[in-house]
Amino acid sequence: MYTCAKCKVYACRGNQAAKLPKNCPIRNQEVLNEALEEYKKEENIQFYITSAEIERLGYGQWVRVRETMEFCDRMGYHRIGLAFCGGLCGEAEIVSDLLTRHGFEVVSVICKAGGIDKAEIGIQEEYKMHPNEFEPMCNPVFQARLLNEQKTDFNIALGLCVGHDSFLYRYSEAMVTTLVVKDRVLAHNPAGAIYCAKGYYKNKFGDEV
């Protein structure tokens, strides 16, 4: 089992092969070589190289919105898909306007697209936010399929729920990046809880969660 999160060596970051822990992933040379071959494929190599270029050019200077636009520009992407949460309509409009002002064509699809009540997919009334009322389901597969139909070059996920975002990644034909992740408690900044996990938020991770 790999336990990189507990590693005290990180030999991978310093080219120190002699210090590899016994369970270091680097020891799995077969899978490592297979991964390297994937990057070298024609459909992947420029995408990966551009990612590294953006990391270097914008390091500590560009916010993620700009990194995303710079990446799309360098990759020659024009039609950008924006799959967003209904709770972030205002944010989605701002992002759409930013992309449009920078010359991109934006195809945006809200998570509630389809207007299907949650009960129709098997969600019990007690798990609705407002039981016994019409409540549209989040529909990430539909979002992905609509973006596929529109032949987007690249898709952006903005604020989709945990799990719903996974469906978007799975069903999208174009590559997907995440611009905003959902955290209703921390203004969509889940890292805040991590930074405070041993302090102010240490009681927020109890068994009742």
pLDDT in tens for each of the 209 residues of the chain? Answer: 999 999 999 999 998 888 999 999 999 999 999 999 999 999 999 999 999 999 999 999 999 999 999 999 999 999 999 999 999 999 999 999 999 999 999 999 999 999 999 999 999 999 999 999 999 999 999 999 999 999 999 999 999 999 999 999 999 999 999 999 999 999 999 999 999 988 877 887 875 44
pLDDT at 17: 85
E strands in the chain? 79-84, 105-110, 154-158, 176-180
Q: What are phi and psi of 54, to 5 degrees?
A: -65, -40
In three-state secondary structure terms, 122 is coil
* Tokens encoding 135: 């409540």
pLDDT at 145: 98
Residue 20 is given by DSSP the state -
In three-state secondary structure terms, 17 is helix
Domain ranges of the chain: 28-61, 62-209
In three-state secondary structure terms, 60 is coil
Q: How many residues does the chain have?
A: 209
* Tokens encoding 97: 């306007």
pLDDT at 136: 97
pLDDT at 202: 80
Please tell me the distance from the alpha carbon of residue 142 to that of residue 110, in angstroms, as a whole number: 10
pLDDT at 208: 45
CATH number given to 62-209: 3.40.50.11840
pTM: 0.94
